[in-house]
Chain A
Amino acid sequence: MNQIEWLENLSLEDVSVAGPKMAKLGDLRAAGVTVPAGFTVTSAAYIEAVSDTPVAARIDELLADVAAADQPEMGKLAAAAREMICATALSPSLIEAIGQAYQSLSLRFGADSLPTAVRSSATGEDAADASFAGQFDSYLGVTGHAEVVDAVLSCWASLFTERAVTYRAGKGIRHHDCPMAVGVLELIDARASGVAFSVHPVTGRSDRIVIEGSWGWGEAIVQGLVTPDRVEVGKSDGRILDYVVADKTVMSTFDSEGGRVFETDVPDELKGARALSDAEVLAISEAVVLIEDHFGHPVDVEWVAGPASEEESRITIVQARPETVHGADGAVTPPQWNPAGYAMKYAFGNKVK
């Protein structure tokens, strides 16, 4: 099995190799959706470096009685396991393979060393469960061959965060059952980001797309720190039905030195300005329609608009999920005019149905 797989070679059948997070991105890419470029350090690489080596045996020994441990004890055990992983010496062939892939990715963007997002993409039966997947670490702004290798090790180690160890202990899952794959993806310097729904999130109407977006990175929106712009788009003709510009006071931005996202005030001239151009709205809408058609049921997505050259920037879809509230056929009945029905409904009080 390959230690490195490019996103363009991944499909949903590769969940055990690349983890669902990366496999889904590969699937979207194959469907024609613009997703971040990147590659996966596969679960095979992890198995070769950890599971099939004495490291795994030592971790097994360390964690043998973990189910009985109390919380402080468990914390210590988990920390010890992570140290063992980080101290693992990778094979020269793996280091070289990561290096080659990283260089190749950088060159695609004309860069010597491309800033990346290095993301855990755990495999195993529970991997599709969001609460499981959320236990593992991601590293943003990772730049340079050695740094990427370190970040991959850190992602592997995050298989042994206290939370992850507790979770598996509770469910009786062995860490051998969920070898870690790691995605290395281009880091998009988000000019604006947000979410989009292929049905109206409140009414369930399926003839429109609702887009919410604000300046900078998506964290401020996801955490509810900012009221985003809200756009409604007709699904059949891609026409903007309504664009409500919000007063956007806070934005998330990225500190490349510290490798972290932080909140800052939105400059005054941008607070009341549209975060998305018409062309960007259209691009997001087209992506949403494409994904909904591909999945065969309503979806919500997270999108990022990259740096803009003129007024238009590349729209990248970073995540897509099935829409759970209204589902495939839970949408409300759309209004259907007929004079008698509406007269009965509205003109004669509540006693008439």
Chain B
Amino acid sequence: MSDDLIPTEYCHHDFYPGFNPSQMDSAFKCARLDVFKPEDGELFWPLDFHYQRGFVPLGYLVVADGPLWGTQIAADAIPLPPSRGLQARMVGPHLYASEIPITDPWEIEQRAIKASQNIPAFLGNFSEIWAERVAELETWLHHMESAEPMGKSLSEIGEFFEKSVRLIRRAWEIHFEIMYPLVANYVGFYGLCTELNLEPGEIGRFLQGYDTKIMETDRELWGLTRRVRELGLEDLFAVTAAQDIATELASAGADAATFLTELDDFLQIYGRRSEGIIDLASPPWIDDPTSPLGTIKTFLLMDKDHDFDQANVEVVAEREEAISSARSRLTVEDREQFDAGLGACQAANFNWWNEEHNFYIDLRAHLPLRRASAALATAVGADSEDDGLFLFGPEARSLARGDSSWSDIAGLVGERRDFYNDWRAKRSEMPKMLGSVPDEVTDPVMKEIFGMGEHFFAALSGSSSEILKGVPAAMGSAEGPARVLFSPEDLHTILPGEILVCEATSPNWTPAFAKIAACVCDSGGTLTHASIVSREYRIPCVTGLAVATARISTGDRLLVNGTTGEVTLLDEIG
């Protein structure tokens, strides 16, 4: 039996004080969010790199009603032949995820037949479907973002709270309704390319260079950086700590006021994003602009601006060159197949969508719930708006209904804050995976986005040498000092020329890519965020190293070869 594959303390550990996980009232289609049970050892549970800061109590409502709900709904709607989506286990605030496998061959076959009918129909209408979904999301988001729950009655706050949860569910249904077929399509095209003997390194290039909302945000940040120079505010940025820049600007005269107005215009459009995916605990830029201002502060340290237009020209030229070089090596017959596959992926481009959607969903759709919790905390007389984040769903709902009062629960909030902070500090020591290493991972999101392929299992077992081997995700090579980051809130502190070493990156990390010399990740494959963004920024990237954050310390000198997938520790400081 595989009992010992899950550490005993994770099955019986003290959860957040004062809450029994079995009372979690989130929606689920076929597997609830839970804590580990000994029998879970039969499955494979990687530590979910998307949530490096971990979850505050109310955050668990978001992951359950968001990504977990979304994968389970989409996995049965498409349907995915061997998987019913993702399930997850909580260890303190940290999340381990696993696919929900289907093992019966007959059922897999039936689902494959249905999926074979549904996927082409979906892909054929992708642009219309996505345009409809964006319109739906924008309507929802605009409605929720323009409403103000603060100061409303408890029952009104309760309604806003439930609507926020429904927005999260709907956003994440859309997320995986789209993501699964797009990934499957890209992976199929990738398979075709390997049959055609094309190099794995060049396949990723075929679909790069299409502008996204996230790229647009980064470009605007550089625009603001130029404005700082034009308005003569560099010195203020240079001598002021990131978190104090906004306050300093407010009392620094007319030019600073002009800048603040422009910053506000920027935040109105691009500021509704949190620092982490579905991270309720981090304030959006529009509420706390420390992150964009800190990023501008470090952009000012660079010798020259990141030239987005030039980079895009180069990325597009590289794409066209890669495509024409590949086509030149194909027979007339094979070229027809390649063109058809490439056309299908261009029309439903995963690489593009994987950035684009974050603007609407991953960084944004949970923010109304954050505001609901703040309004609730205020309405019930909590000391701080943040206290609402430390309530579990049933507790928040009970307060909103008036079934309980703040005094019943106020004492737990402080304990839960300490619990959250204690466990967050342990992030770097958390096992990268629990349970049994499987023969194969079949859920395409688990496999391609989490990067749980053969290379990952190989990397786990061969980790002692000075050369780490991972997935060559973006070509080129670079040398520089390592900066190991476990949390995105330190992102704006990265210095130009450093090599970012992390579990994985998320969309909110992109501004850093203009500064770093290379990117190195524990998780991921060629389709993960870091891979795609590195190609757009033309820096080398290696993913799926499994143990990079454990093996490398900040200050170590690294040589990153994104063409071979090797990371060499030239000099170990740590």
Contact = CB atoms under 8 A, between A and B. Distances in A.
Contact of B119 (A235, A340, A351, A353): A340
B329 interface: yes
A296 interface: no
A208 interface: yes
Contact of A344 (B81, B189, B195, B332): B81
A335 B195 contact: yes
A345 B334 contact: no
Contacts of B442: 348-349, 351-352
A343 B119 contact: yes
> For B189, B192, B340, B444, which residue has the most chain A Cβ atoms within 10 angstroms?
B192
Contact of A347 (B183, B341, B440): B183
A341 B181 CA distance: 13
A337 B340 contact: yes
Contact of A345 (B105, B191, B440): B191
A235 B190 CA distance: 25
B116 A340 contact: yes
Interface in B135-191: 181, 183-185, 187-191
Contacts of B192: 335, 337, 342
Interface string A321-353: 000000000000011111111111111111111
B82 A346 contact: no
A353 to B, nearest CB: 8
Interface in B434-451: 440-442, 444, 447
A242 B334 CA distance: 14
Contacts of B333: 207, 236, 334
B444 A347 contact: yes
Given A335-B195, A347-B183, A340 B344 contact: no
A352 B332 contact: no
Contacts of A235: 331
Nearest to A233: B331
Interface residues of B, number: 42
B108 A352 contact: yes
> For B108, B184, B185, which residue has the most chain A Cβ atoms within 10 angstroms?
B184
Interface in A207-236: 207-208, 234-236
Contacts of A65: none
A337 B191 contact: no
Contacts of B105: 351
Interface in B53-93: 80-83
A205 B333 CA distance: 11
B185 A207 contact: no
Interface in B332-348: 332-334, 337-338, 340-341, 344
B190 A348 contact: no
B188 A345 contact: yes
Given A335-B195, A351-B81, A352-B112, A343 B184 contact: yes
Given A335-B196, A351-B105, A351-B442, A343 B331 contact: no
Contacts of A341: 116, 188
B328 interface: yes
A237 interface: yes
Contact of A208 (B81, B117, B331, B338): B331
Contacts of A343: 115-116, 119, 181, 184-185, 187-188
A69 interface: no
B431 interface: no
Interface in B373-424: none
Contacts of A347: 183-184, 187-188, 444
A210 to B, nearest CB: 12
A211 B265 CA distance: 64
Interface in A271-288: none
Contacts, number: 103
Contacts of B190: 346
Q: Chain B interface secondary structure, helix, strand, loop or mixed? A: helix
Contacts of A79: none
Contacts of A353: 112
Contacts of B195: 335
B230 to A, nearest CB: 49
B82 A342 contact: no
A349 B82 contact: yes
Nearest to A334: B333
A346 B337 CA distance: 16
A241 interface: yes
A236 to B, nearest CB: 5
Interface string B288-332: 000000000000000000000000000000000000000011111
Interface string B179-219: 00101110111111001100000000000000000000000
Interface string B122-141: 01000000000000000000
B388 to A, nearest CB: 41
Contact of A334 (B83, B112, B334, B441): B334
B81 A242 contact: no
Given A342-B188, A351-B108, A241 B440 contact: no
> For A235, A337, A339, A341, which residue has the most chain B Cβ atoms within 10 angstroms?
A339
A348 B82 contact: yes
Contacts of B18: none
B17 interface: no
Contact of B331 (A236, A337, A350, A352): A236
Contact of B185 (A208, A334, A339, A350): A339
Contacts of A335: 192, 195-196, 334, 337
The 10 closest A-B pairs by CB, nearest first: A342-B188, A349-B442, A346-B191, A347-B184, A343-B184, A340-B116, A234-B331, A347-B187, A343-B188, A207-B331
29 contacts: A207-B331, A208-B331, A234-B330, A234-B331, A236-B331, A241-B330, A335-B337, A336-B337, A337-B192, A337-B337, A337-B340, A337-B341, A337-B344, A339-B344, A341-B116, A343-B115, A343-B116, A344-B112, A344-B188, A346-B188, A347-B183, A347-B184, A347-B188, A348-B81, A348-B112, A348-B444, A351-B81, A352-B82, A353-B112
Given A335-B337, A342-B341, A343-B115, 20 more contacts: A334-B334, A336-B337, A340-B119, A342-B188, A343-B116, A343-B185, A344-B81, A344-B116, A347-B187, A347-B188, A348-B82, A348-B112, A349-B441, A349-B442, A351-B81, A351-B105, A352-B82, A352-B112, A352-B442, A353-B112
Interface of A: 205, 207-208, 234-237, 239, 241-242, 334-353
